[in-house]
Every structure is written in structure tokens, then in C-alpha cells.
């Protein structure tokens, strides 16, 4: 099964992607994580993408599709969750074509929703562990010891693009470029909205219900 997760930044789709992947033994393609790994590795692709992430705008499709294509081919026949890809109509069409080449399609597209001020609140308070990736929120889920990860003791950091001005830009980009995917996937009869409010466990129940897969 191929599942697309999309929604504004801070809505928790990365967390849900991990929970679903664990439950279903599927793989995840997180475009943001792949890009940040390229930037850390200082690869040519990372050098090109870095400034776009820093400003909170979309990386050009040509680079994104290069990253996505390999992963799609590698996961032929596997369950795969697309987290943060596609992010505009052009990418959605390219994804449909890449999957069609291997006789597959997007089976479900889940669009997460949450009020804007809650998104901003979540993102401005978000910290991640630079060693294991665990997420914290200074407000709702603070670490036991300030600055270090409860799980592995790693140093906690703030994402470069989790600054209020950049967050507002990312939200604008979402509305202008990504939101039209709701209409696109509705027209393909694979779209479901997921209310992203409440605990991650509660949201996970809603996600599994929209996937409508047998997961007992
Ligand atoms: P995320 O980790 O999903 O919040 O993505 C962080 C940043 O990576 C975004 O603000 C964009 O700059 C870039 N990015 C991630 N996925 C895509 C995509 N599918 N298309 C273009 N840019 C992307």
C-alpha cells in the first residue's frame, strides 16, 4: 500500500508516519529528513537545497523528484508512507506517473488539519534530539533535564527553520502550494481528512481508521 501524508508544518505527520510504519512494518520516505541528511553530508544536492530550507520555501521540483525516484523504485511492492512529499500538484502528478510505471498508485492520501495558532505554538516550542531524533515540546512535553534527551542523553536542538518568521512563511507556502492536493486526491477518491488535535495516540487511532486496513 502507498500512503501520502500531508499537512501544514507542525501538524505531527512525521510522528504519525513513524507510528504507522511501526504498526504495519512499512517504510517511510520523509522528504524533509532526506534533505536534511544531504545538507549535513554537504553533498552537491544538499548544497543546492540548503538555502531553500533555511528560508522555509519549497526546494525546486527537479531536485525533489531526483531524491524521490530512487526511493519509489527501491520500495516497489512494499508498503510505503510518503511524509512531506508530494507538496504541490506537479510533484503529485510526477508521483502518480512514477508509481504507474511499476503498476502502483497512491492508495490513500491523508490530509492533517490543526488551527494555525496551535501549529505556531507547537513549532516555536519544538526541540529534537540531535542523536536519536526524539521530539520534545517545551510546553507539552518538556525533557526531564533541560537540554538533554530522556531517551539517550543526546543534546537537544531546535530546527533551523523553527523560527517564528520562517514558520509563518512555511504556513503560507503550505496554503498556496500544498493545500490544492486536497482537491486533487479527492478527485481520485483516495482523500481523507485527519483531525490532528489531541494526543498522538488519539490521532493515531484516527489515522488507522482512515487507512481502513486490518491491523488487529
Ligand atoms: P519538513 O521536514 O517536511 O517540514 O520539510 C522541511 C523543508 O524541506 C520544507 O520547508 C522545504 O523547504 C523542504 N521540503 C521538504 N519536502 C519538500 C518537497 N516535497 N518539496 C519541496 N521542498 C520540500
Q: What is the CA(216)–ligand 1 centre distance, in A?
A: 33
C-alpha–C-alpha distance, residues 216 and 201, integer Å: 16
Identify the CA nearest to 159 among candidates 127, 202, 121, 191. 127
Average pLDDT over all residues of the chain: 96
66 tagged catalytic? no
At residue 98, the pLDDT reads 98
- List, for residues 118-154, the tens digit of each pLDDT value: 999 999 999 999 999 999 999 889 999 999 999 999 9
- List, for residues 11-56, the tens digit of each pLDDT value: 999 999 999 999 999 999 999 999 999 999 999 999 999 999 999 9
For the Cβ of 4 lying below 6 angstroms from any atom of ligand 1, the answer is: no
At residue 215, the pLDDT reads 60
Mutation test residue for ligand 1: of 84, 160, 169, 172, the one with most atoms within 8 Å of CB: 84
- Give whole-number Cα distances, 139 to 118, 121, 197, in Å: 12, 9, 15
126 tagged catalytic? yes
Instruction: Please identify which residue in the block is written with the cell numbers 508498503.
Output: 79
Element (H, E) at 129: strand 126-129
Q: What is the CA(46)–ligand 1 centre distance, in A?
A: 12
**Burial of 19 from C-beta contacts in 10 A (0-12 / 13-18 / 19+):** middle
pTM over 0.85: yes
Amino acid at each position: 500500500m502507498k500512503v501520502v501524508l500531508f499537512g501544514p508544518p507542525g501538524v505531527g505527520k512525521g510522528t504519525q508516519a513513524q507510528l504507522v510504519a511501526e504498526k504495519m512494518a512499512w517504510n517511510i520516505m520523509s522528504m524533509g529528513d532526506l534533505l536534511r541528511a544531504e545538507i549535513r553530508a554537504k553533498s552537491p544536492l544538499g548544497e543546492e537545497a540548503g538555502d531553500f530550507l533555511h528560508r522555509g520555501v519549497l526546494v525546486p521540483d527537479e531536485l525533489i523528484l531526483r531524491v524521490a525516484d530512487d526511493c519509489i523504485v527501491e520500495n516497489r511492492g512494499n508498503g510505503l508512507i510518503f511524509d512531506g512529499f508530494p507538496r504541490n500538484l506537479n510533484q503529485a502528478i510526477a508521483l502518480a506517473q512514477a508509481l504507474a510505471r511499476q503498476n502502483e498508485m497512491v492508495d490513500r492520501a491523508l490530509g492533517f488539519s490543526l488551527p494555525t495558532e496551535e501549529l505556531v505554538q507547537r513549532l516555536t516550542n519544538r526541540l529534537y534530539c540531535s542523536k536519536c531524533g526524539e521530539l520534545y515540546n517545551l510546553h507539552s512535553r518538556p525533557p526531564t533535564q533541560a537540554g538533554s534527551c530522556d531517551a539517550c542523553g543526546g543534546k537537544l536542538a531546535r530546527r533551523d527553520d523553527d523560527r517564528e518568521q520562517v514558520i509563518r512563511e512555511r504556513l503560507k507556502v503550505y496554503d498556496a502550494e500544498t493545500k490544492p492536493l486536497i482537491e486533487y486526491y479527492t478527485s481520485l477518491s483516495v482523500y481523507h481528512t485527519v483531525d490532528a488535535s489531541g494526543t498522538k495516540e488519539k490521532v493515531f487511532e484516527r489515522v488507522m481508521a482512515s487507512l481502513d486496513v486490518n491491523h488487529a
